[in-house]
Amino acid sequence: YVYSLTQEIELPLAASPYEDMYPDINGNVISWMARNPLNQYNIEDYWCIRTFDVSIDNRTELVYGLAAPAPISLGENYLSYLDKPVASFGWRVYKKLLFGTESAPSIPPSGTNARTGGNIVVYQDNKNGNMDIWTWNQNKDPAQLTSGPGEKINPSTDGKTIVWQDNRNGNWDIYAYDLNTSKEMQITKNKADQTNPDVENGVIVWQDKRSGNWDVYVYDRSVQKEKPICTDAGNQTQPRIRTGRIVWTDDRSGDKDIYIYENYMS
């Protein structure tokens, strides 16, 4: 489903009798993973990635023939997704250039939790022991970004900054890496857990358990200040930021709903 902020109405986007899941949005384009056993390729367990461009009312099947469903990420230049071409080899990371062409490796890198922004895809992988963050730039091979003790997971990027959660200090903290200066920085230092970060234009959001339940916090690098966004009853989790708006999952009413914060600076 999609919700129009200008019209304040909820609309069905993909309402087939089969599964549609893992939606993402960038600008006017919405993407999601869909299953359709009645496909033209006669593949029984058939998963694909579809897109819908709201501005021109156009639907496209961008990727087809995937073995299993997994979260996808839609950026300005790339779609990143996971697949298991050989089940025993585990998840592999894929990226698809949205405009133009780019050569693909014969063996995609192993990894999970792929996210994209700008000309880069980030993901996590434990091929060297601990879980670390890897980057995959345009026309380059994947490269390991983090190392050292602890686990680094749940990366996200806007193409300028990479963020992730990191337990090198004994609890989960949020760390960031500036792609322009090649510098790593610790964003949170509270002894409670901070997890599931996202970033846009130097503004970092995450879920935070310093008050006993999960809340949403934000850190603005331009003013170097941290601020709570939502500390209401229940748990506020899985925050995301787009065009200055912060959304999250919220169970304050007993079930899980979607909430939005329009202006984080107000």
Q: What is the pLDDT of residues 201-245, one digit of tens each?
A: 999 999 999 999 999 999 999 999 999 999 999 999 999 999 999
Architecture, CATH, for domain 2-261 = 6 Propeller (2.120)
The span from the CA of 122 to the CA of 104, in Å, is 16
pLDDT tens string 136-147:
998 899 999 999
Q: Are strands 245-250 and 236-242 parallel, antiparallel or unpaired?
A: antiparallel
Q: How confident is the model at residue 42 (pLDDT cuts 50, 70, 90)?
A: low
Residue 17: band (very low, low, confident or very high) from pLDDT cuts 50, 70, 90: confident
More confident residue, 67 or 174: 174
49-99: pLDDT as tens digits:
999 999 999 998 899 889 899 999 999 999 999 999 888 899 999 999 988
Q: Are 164 and 175 in contact (CB under 8 A)?
A: yes
Annotated domain spans of the chain: 2-261
pLDDT for res 109: 96
What number of other Cβ atoms are within 10 A of residue 260's Cβ? Answer: 10
Phi, psi of 46 (to 5 degrees): -110, 120
Per-residue tokens: 61: 């099947």
Helix (H, G, I), strand (E, B) or coil at 11: strand
Q: Rounded CA gap, 205 and 216, in Å?
A: 7
CB 206 within 8 A of CB 188: yes
